[in-house]
Amino acid sequence: MASSQPIKSPMGSQSQNQRSSQQGLKYPSNGKTIYHRPLNRSRTQELSQASFAYLFGEMVSYAQKRVTGIQDLEKRLNNQGHPIGLKLLDLLLYREPARSQTRPLHIIALLQFITTTLWRHLFSRPADALEKSSNPDTPEEYMISDNEPLVNQYISVPKEMNQLNCAAYVAGIVEGCCDGAGFPAKVTAHSVGKGEEGELWPGKTVFLVKFQDEVVEREAFLGR
Amino acid sequence: MSYYFAIIGTSDNPIFEYEFGTAKAGGDGVPRFPEQARHMNQFIVNASLDNVEDVQWGGGQMYLKKIDRYYNNYISAFITGSNTKFLLLHHPTTPSTTSTRASTSIPANPTSPQTEEAIKQFFVEVYENWLKTVMNPFYTQGMRIDSPVFRGRVAAAGRKYL
């Protein structure tokens, strides 16, 4: 890395000469701010999975340093994902074609947006299943399943922590998306693979989306 | 011919506000609110948030058109996917000067379809720039927008369409 070009740091050398001319605001040396950059991204631009896996591994160990238990760790991962969901909701709605550029008004519309548009953006494929809880006592629960979460691909969970699923990070993204759209929810990630030999999807993860009561209430009201 | 534009966050907190006048039909872009009514703008705009909440679940469109009116102030709204509201208060000058040209122009005619369309274009342009702010990794939801570049972009959109 040391031999590569000097990285354009926002606090770099240009800050000194800029400070005198513009108080409090530092412009990049080429004069281009985030407002000069387009919001649309070409479809082929993808990130390296290796670098993501490396970064994500670091994120997990960073979160792990300051926690007391597995639940706490999952909560931290969830919190890291939350703002991403909020931002992606707006960005992806903007990128939708003008005709379908509408805010999701119903739970189903929102979940379909998440399982198709959001999933495609993050993992370049849709989620594997979207189900509603069949239990009549919990009409507010929905399940999104992913057979092989991309974030877990290079994560091996030690035996004594088998409750942990690092896809809690993705759950946080989903939760951010739901919260942002006005459907406050709790989203948790659960491993459903039984760890048996010859299993088709040993890493299968279910994201349990539990909407708050007011969402279900509004849904019933709007449905009429 | 004066406008007051505000962005309201998800907890009804103001994120950004900007006052401007029309640049169309020889306007100089300077807001001319009556001095005794100017401080009311924030109240009027915030009062219309109730109306936004009334209509926001009625349809998925982001542009909600004209949602409120308070005497001679017309309020148009735009709501983003993450429930951030853009509100524009439109205050036409006294309607007594009705020349034929003024009657069709955007600033003098807050209810015409042309005005509706112009405000929509204004909102869409602001939306794009707002989204760029939001995508900043150092921006968290509900933060005030202080960027002078953003302010400049909003001003440019106002000059262009209104």
Q: Which residue has the tokens 């340093």?
A: A65
Q: Which residue has the tokens 């009804």?
A: B12
Each residue's pLDDT tens digit, A143-178: 999 988 888 888 888 888 878 888 999 999 999 999
Q: In one letter, which amino acid is A92?
A: L
**Does the pLDDT value for residue A55 go beyond 70?**
yes
Task: For residue B124, give both structure tokens.
Answer: 């869409």
ipTM: 0.84
Report the C-alpha gap between B6 and B14 in whole angstroms. 7
Contact A128, A192 (CB under 8 A): no
Range in A92-101, B48-57, B77-86, B92-101 with the lowest mean pLDDT: B92-101
Each residue's pLDDT tens digit, B2-36: 889 999 998 889 999 998 888 776 677 777 787 88
**Does the pLDDT value for residue A111 go beyond 90?**
yes
Contact A74, A169 (CB under 8 A): no
**Cβ–Cβ pairs < 8 A, chains A and B:** 70
Please name the residues between 102 and 121 in chain B that touch chain A, using a CB distance below 8 Å: none
Number of domains in chain B: 1
Give the residue with greater pLDDT, A11 vs A94.
Answer: A94
Residue among B62, B140, B141 minimizing CB distance to A103: B62
Q: In one letter, which amino acid is B45?
A: V
Q: For chain A, which residues make up each domain, given as ranges?
A: 48-223
Stated pTM of the model: 0.83
From chain B, pick out residues whose CB is under 8 angstroms from the CB of A83.
140-141
- Quickly list H helices, B19-112: 41-47, 49-55, 100-104
Please name the residues between 153 and 212 in chain A that touch chain B, using a CB distance below 8 Å: 180-182
Instruction: Supply the CATH classification number for the domain A48-223.
Output: 3.30.1380.20
Contact A189, A99 (CB under 8 A): no
For testing the chain A interface, which of B10, B57, B82 should be mutated: the one with the most A CBs within 10 Å?
B82
B152 → chain A, closest CA residue: A35
Q: In one letter, which amino acid is A45?
A: Q
Contact B2, B94 (CB under 8 A): no
- Provide φ and ψ at A190, rounded to 5°: -130, 135
Contact B106, B27 (CB under 8 A): no
Report the C-alpha gap between B50 and A169 in whole angstroms. 35
The mean per-residue pLDDT over the stretch B82-93 comes to: 88
From chain A, pick out residues whose CB is under 8 angstroms from the CB of B134.
87, 90-91
Q: In one letter, which amino acid is A76?
A: R
Task: For residue A198, give both structure tokens.
Answer: 């010859």
Residue among B60, B129, B140 minimizing CB distance to A103: B60
The mean per-residue pLDDT over the stretch A81-88 comes to: 92
Report the C-alpha gap between B69 and B77 in whole angstroms. 12
Q: Is B19 helix (H, G, I), strand (E, B) or coil?
A: strand
Report the C-alpha gap between B79 and B58 in whole angstroms. 12
Contact between chains at B148 and A37 (C-beta distance less than 8 A): no
Furthest C-alpha separation in chain B:
50
Provide the 8-state DSSP code for B108.
Answer: T
Contact A173, A85 (CB under 8 A): yes
Give the residue with greater pLDDT, B111 vs B123.
Answer: B123
Residue B100: give the domain boundaries: 2-161
Please name the residues between 60 and 99 in chain B that touch chain A, using a CB distance below 8 Å: 60-62, 79-83
Range in A197-201, A204-208, B36-40, B84-88 with the lowest mean pLDDT: A197-201
CATH number at residue B94: 3.30.450.70
**Band of the pLDDT at A112, cuts 50, 70, 90?**
very high
